Amino acid sequence: MPLQVGIVGAGYAGFDSMTPGLSTRELMFEASSRAYEDAGIDPRRDVQSFICCTEDFWEGISITDEYMPDQLGAVLRPLCTVSSDGIIGLATACMHIMSGITDVAVVESHSKISDVLNPSEITSFGFDPIYTHHHLDADPRFLAGMEMARYLKDSATKREDCAQVVVKNKKNALSNPRGVHGANIDREGVMSSPVAASPLTELESSKGIDASIVFVLASAKKARRLGDHTVWVRGVGWSSDTPVVEDRDFGWAHYVEQAASRAYKMAGIGIPASYFDLAEVDDTYSYKELQSIEALKLAKKGKVGKMLSSGVFDRDGRLPVNPSGGSLGVGHLLEATGLHRTLEAVLQLRGEAGRLQIPRAKKALVQSWRGIPTATGAVAVLSN
Amino acid sequence: MRRRVAVVGAGITLFRRRMLETPKELSFEASKMALDSAGLTLKDIQSVVSGSAPDAFDGVHMKGEYYLDGMGAIGKPHERVYVGGGTGVFTPIGGWWNVASGMYDTCLCVAEEKMSPLHPHPQYAFWSIFDQILERPLGTTLLWIFSLEMRRYMHKYGIKEEEIAEVAVKNKGNAIDHPSAQLGARITVSDVMNSEPICSPVKRLDVSPPSDGAAAVVLVSENVAKKLTDEPVWLDGVGWTLDTMHWTNRDLAYPEYVEKAAKMAYRMAGIKNPRKEIDVAEPYDPFDYKELHHLEGLQLAGKGEAPKMTVDGVTQRDGDLPVCPSGGLLGVGNPIAAAGMMKICELFWQLRGEAGKRQVKKDARTGVAQAWGDLMQVGTVAVMRS
**Contact at CB, A84 and B80, closer than 8 angstroms:** yes
pLDDT of residue A138: 87
Facing B62 at nearest CB: one of A126, A241, A258: A126
Could you tell me which CATH class the domain A5-117+209-231 is placed in? alpha beta
pLDDT of residue A131: 84
pLDDT of residue A93: 98
Average confidence (pLDDT) over B346-357: 97
What is the share, in percent, of chain A residues with pLDDT greater than 90?
Answer: 96
pLDDT in tens, B83-141: 999 999 999 999 999 999 999 999 999 999 999 999 889 988 888 999 988 889 988 88
Nearest CA among A38, A30, A31, A28 for reference residue A7: A38
Q: How many whole angstroms separate alpha carbon A376 and alpha carbon A368?
A: 8
In chain A, what are the domain boundaries? Answer: 5-117+209-231, 119-208+233-383
- The length of chain A in residues reads 384
What's the farthest any 2 CA atoms get from each other in chain A?
55
Q: How far is CA B257 from the centre of its chain?
A: 16
pLDDT of residue A227: 78
Interface probe, candidates A44, A54, A240, chain B, greatest B C-beta count within 10 A: A240
Facing B74 at nearest CB: one of A124, A242, A373: A242
**Contact at CB, A240 and B75, closer than 8 angstroms:** yes
Question: Which of the residues in chain A have pLDDT under 70?
Answer: 1-2, 134-136
pLDDT of residue A1: 57
**Contact at CB, A126 and B65, closer than 8 angstroms:** yes
Domain A119-208+233-383 belongs in CATH node 3.40.47.10: yes
Asked if residue A193 lies in contact with residue A203, where contact means CB atoms within 8 angstroms, the answer is yes
Chain B residues in contact with A258 by the CB 8 A cut-off are: 75
Could you tell me which CATH class the domain B5-119+209-385 is placed in? alpha beta
Chains A and B form CB pairs within 8 A to the count of 183
Facing B83 at nearest CB: one of A81, A98, A370: A81
pTM of the model: 0.97
- Top pLDDT among B141 and B81 is at B81
**Contact at CB, B79 and A98, closer than 8 angstroms:** no
Residue A349 is inside which H or E element, if any?
helix A337-350
Here the ipTM equals 0.97
**Contact at CB, B65 and A237, closer than 8 angstroms:** no
Facing A69 at nearest CB: one of B60, B64, B244: B244
Q: Do domains A5-117+209-231 and A119-208+233-383 have the same CATH topology?
A: yes
Listed in sequence order, the DSSP H helices in A213-285 are 220-223, 254-267
Chain A residues in contact with B62 by the CB 8 A cut-off are: 55, 57, 83, 126, 370, 374
Q: How many whole angstroms separate alpha carbon A317 and alpha carbon A285?
A: 22
pLDDT of residue A59: 95
Give Cβ neighbours of residue A19 (< 8 Å, ≥ 6 apart).
Answer: A27, A112, A114, A210
Q: Where are the beta strands (DSSP E) in chain A?
A: 5-16, 49-53, 79-82, 104-112, 195-197, 200-201, 210-219, 231-240, 278-280, 363-369, 376-383
Asked if residue A5 lies in contact with residue A267, where contact means CB atoms within 8 angstroms, the answer is no
Chain B residues in contact with A56 by the CB 8 A cut-off are: 54-56, 128
pLDDT of residue A132: 80
Classify residue A194 by its DSSP letter: P
pLDDT in tens, A237-276: 999 999 999 999 999 999 999 999 999 999 999 999 999 9
pLDDT of residue A136: 62
In chain B, what are the domain boundaries? Answer: 5-119+209-385
What is the share, in percent, of chain B residues with pLDDT greater than 90?
Answer: 92
User: DSSP readout, B67-129?
Assistant: HGGGGT-TTS-EEEEE-GGGHHHHHHHHHHHHHHTSS-SEEEEEEEEE-TTSSS-GGGGGGGG
Q: How many whole angstroms separate alpha carbon A214 and alpha carbon A86?
A: 10
Interface probe, candidates B79, B105, B118, chain A, greatest A C-beta count within 10 A: B79
pLDDT of residue A230: 97
